[in-house]
Structure 1
Amino acid sequence: MNIKHLLGVHHVSAITANAKENYQFYTTILGMRLVKKTVNQDETSMYHLFYADERGNPGTDLTFFEIKNAGRTYKGTNSISATSLRVSHDESLQYWKKRFEKYEVNHEEIRNVGNRATLAFQDFEGQRLILVSDENNRGVMGGRPWEKSTVPVKYGITGLGPIYLTVSKLEHTEKVLISLLGFRRKEGYITRIDDLERDVYVFETGEGGTGAEVHVIVLSDQPREKPGRGSVHHVAFRVENKEELLKWVDRLNNFNIQNSGFVERFYFRSLYFRDRNGILFELATDGPGFESDEDFDTLGEKLALPPYLESKRDEIEAKLQPLITKE
């Protein structure tokens, strides 16, 4: 089967217990654009919010499901343990450090990780995030920050960077990344966790670089993470189009890997499966995109529903609380 390589990270989907505060944090403090305000298509009583660059280009989307009764996250292994957000250059991190101090955002110091300048921080629910500089990036290009953002364009977030997985057994995840998905293993590095030095195994796909990497840390001495608010639900990788996605469905079936099969999400098409560590992966097409039902200038301003949910709009809207309080 002639199948094309994956193009990089497509999106990351996480969990929040408070969509209103989530909206304020990611648009006001982080300056990302809400490019799509919709619902979880499998559970329409909960918001699904997409924050991204100016138009929600593939590889720039950080999304959230609102689960109002989500408990706290008990951090551990077999999880997507951190999400990187790209900025254009090292200088940006100085701007962000001062911004986090101003808004009292929990953050660490700027440090070099894997030959890139980084700044780790957390949102109001403990979501683990890392700003990473693209100054020396030679791979997949980032997006463009929205000009109407609360953050100057030169310092704005340009997309998703390396995704961090913490697993109990490296071989389970490595086999999926390399043998199934076609990632390449590249030089890793050492990081310090809980005062112990840990190896970080780095895998890349497509053109490689900041927007096409997965960093895997093995912590076999920790319990499995119990997810809740502030945890990550899944990570998606980019597939060029529907034709290629259908080839991936066949490939997973040929590998005897249980999967969702083809799933229509309207803004993109998807395929879901787990590795033996329990990590949930998605493959998602680059299109049709978020401007299929909204104009660029008004992205994210109104509740958007795919055609197959439009007949239930009144019922769906009645269950959702406004993200912005009207004065």
Structure 2
Amino acid sequence: MELKGIHHVSALTAKAPGNYEFYTKILGLRLIKKTVNQDDVSIYHLFYGDEQGNPGTELTFFEIPMAARTHEGTNSISQVSLRVKSNRAIEYWKMRFEENNVQHGDITSVFGRMALPFKDHEGQRLLLVSDENTLGIAAGTPWGRSPIPSEFAVIGLGPVKLTVARMEETARIMTDILGFRKKGTYPSEGGAERQIAVYETGEGGTGAEVHIEERMDLPPERLGRGGVHHVAFRVKDEQEMQKWIEKVADAGIPNSGFIDRFYFRSLYFREPNGILFELATDGPGFATDEAIEHLGESLALPPFLEPRRQEIEARLKPLDTTPGKEL
């Protein structure tokens, strides 16, 4: 029983149209599902990913209209990485960001990999990381209709960074409960005396790492637009999910129990610093209710919400997600 890597990351946006423009037309990701938050059907839930929305490529957003900005701090998912194939791709993205006025830092190295930090239009903290010379879990397949050349395209989620007040307690959950193994450390931007710990699972590599930094000098983060809601880790199938549910419960960790999200099955719980973790199955997948060639083009609702479609659509602002309008 082993987690395979990162399944998806879910963040917050205040405006779905601007979010769709940035992630499809600037970053070149595919909108693979336009649906609603199943716990609050009045708001959109947008899923971006690779050609087919494979697990490990999914960056998702809940739209919270009028959400205040995130006040950065500890006990948070403080950075999300996106994988690209090569160092040359990193250089391509630096030029593209400059051409499109995207806020970005300098090309740097993170745990021995070439990387480029940047932010979206709402301040979401992101990092492009090169897969060059990196072994481990396979990446996704770029969307053929993306405005980005395939050799430079984003190919999945890379390491997720956590900033916590108490490293030891989070590390214990990662290793003793979730089965991650410590891979190493690297200096944080705050100085060589402050180390970021790297944990990996499954086959390892950029798509299977969590980086954890302890910061006792920061206040707790106040989550808003431009912040991350939760990170999900990959479980092989529903049978294995039942074993994870038992393991988490036996450890005395409060949790959601089994939840059917239709596109995958889930379990939610918070680690000791309050960060929300999800375990999610690889299937059934996003082509369950839409043809692969038309993913994300219309509002998709799971069967248990379909009887409420008229009510749900009446509460949502129309969002045109017709693909193919390149910048």
| TM-score normalised over the length of structure 2 | 0.97
Q: Within 5 Å, give how 1:90-239 maps onto structure 2.
A: 90-193=87-190, 198-239=194-235
Q: CA–CA distance in 2 between the matches of 1:178 and 1:144?
A: 30
Is the Cα–Cα contact under 8 Å of residues 20 and 322 in structure 1 kept in the other structure? no
Which of 239, 244, 258 is 2:240 aligned to?
A: 244
Task: Tell me the residue number matched to 1:254.
Answer: 250
Q: What's the secondary structure of 1:307's corresponding residue?
A: coil
Q: Deviations over 1:81-113 (max 9, x none)?
A: 000000000000111001100110000011111
Aligned to 2:283: 287
In the alignment, the residues of structure 2 paired with residue 198 and residue 281 of structure 1 have an alpha-carbon distance, to the nearest angstrom, of 25
Q: Which string of whole-angstrom CA distances, capped at 9 and with x for unpartnered residues, describes residues 92-149 of structure 1?
A: 0111001100110000011111100000000000000000000121100100110100
In 1, Cα distance between equivalents of 2:134 and 2:296: 30
2:274 to 272, 278, 283: 278
Please give the secondary structure, in 2, of the residue aligned with 1:290. coil
CA contact (8 A) 1:113 1:191 kept: no
Conservation of the 8 A alpha-carbon contact between 1:10 and 1:238: yes
Paired residue type of 1:228: G
Query: Equivalent of 1:26, from 23, 26, 46?
Result: 23
Between the aligned partners of 1:85 and 1:143, the Cα distance in structure 2 is 11
The secondary structure found in structure 1 opposite 2:305 is helix
- Taking the TM superposition and a 5 Å limit, the aligned residue runs for 1:36-51 are 36-51=33-48
Moved more, 77-86 or 317-326: 317-326
| Aligned residue among 11, 14, 26 for 2:11 | 14
| Whole-angstrom distance in 1 between the partners of 2:196 and 2:131 | 19
- The structure 1 residue matched to 2:307, chosen from 286, 308, 311, is 311
Deviation at 1:150, TM superposition (A): 1.0
Which consecutive residues of structure 1, in runs of 5 or more, have no partner in the other structure? none
CA contact (8 A) 2:296 2:321 kept: no
Q: Which amino acid aligns with 2:144?
A: E
Distance 2:272 2:288 in 1: 36
1:171 aligns to what SS in structure 2?
helix
Percent identity over the alignment is 58
Matched to 2:253, the amino acid is I
Q: Partner amino acid for 1:19? A: A
Deviations 1:140-193 (A, max 9, x none): 010011010011111100000000000000011001100000000011111213
Return the letter of the residue paired with 1:220.
M
Asked if the contact 1:108/1:120 (under 8 Å) is kept, the reply is yes
Flag structure 2 segments of 5+ consecutive residues without an equivalent: 323-327
Structure 1 vs Structure 2 CA RMSD: 1.1
| TM-superposed deviation, 1:325 | 8.9
1:154 aligns to what SS in structure 2? coil
Letter in 2 for 1:237: F
Segments of 4+ moved more than 4 angstroms: none
